[in-house]
């Protein structure tokens, strides 16, 4: 078991088991979530290109602001349409 840190200000973050990872991204739908930090889109543009070259379908999403969690409707949309998600942070 690994400890995943949650930046929500909990004094002791709960332990969460990691989900199994797919052996390949070929044929998978990968969601790229831009959290609205400066230059995050630059990182995700390149990642989208690389994922496409490896046979993944890429869907792009963007949070309204990095200062808050993603809105519920955005999280639901990502959950419904994506098998894998990458969240980008850059400055």
- Cα distances (angstroms) measured from residue 39 to each of 9, 10, 43: 26, 28, 7
Does the global pTM surpass 0.75? yes
Residues 56, 5: Cα–Cα separation, whole Å: 28
Residues 90, 36: Cα–Cα separation, whole Å: 9
pLDDT at 90 over 70: no
On whether the CB atoms of residues 29 and 57 are closer than 8 A, the answer is yes
Share of the chain above pLDDT 90, in %: 56
Per-residue pLDDT averaged across 13-30, rounded? 87
What pLDDT digit, counting tens, does each position of 44-88 carry? 999 999 999 999 999 999 999 988 989 999 999 999 999 999 987
């Amino acid at each position: 078991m690994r400890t995943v840190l949650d930046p929500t200000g909990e004094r002791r973050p709960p332990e969460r088991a990691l989900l199994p990872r797919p052996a390949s991204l070929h044929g998978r739908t990968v969601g790229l979530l831009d959290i609205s930090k400066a230059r995050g889109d630059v990182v995700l543009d390149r990642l989208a290109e690389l994922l496409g070259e490896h046979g993944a379908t890429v869907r792009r999403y963007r949070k309204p602001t990095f200062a808050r969690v993603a809105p519920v409707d955005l999280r639901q949309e990502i959950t419904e349409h994506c098998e894998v998600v990458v969240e980008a942070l850059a400055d």
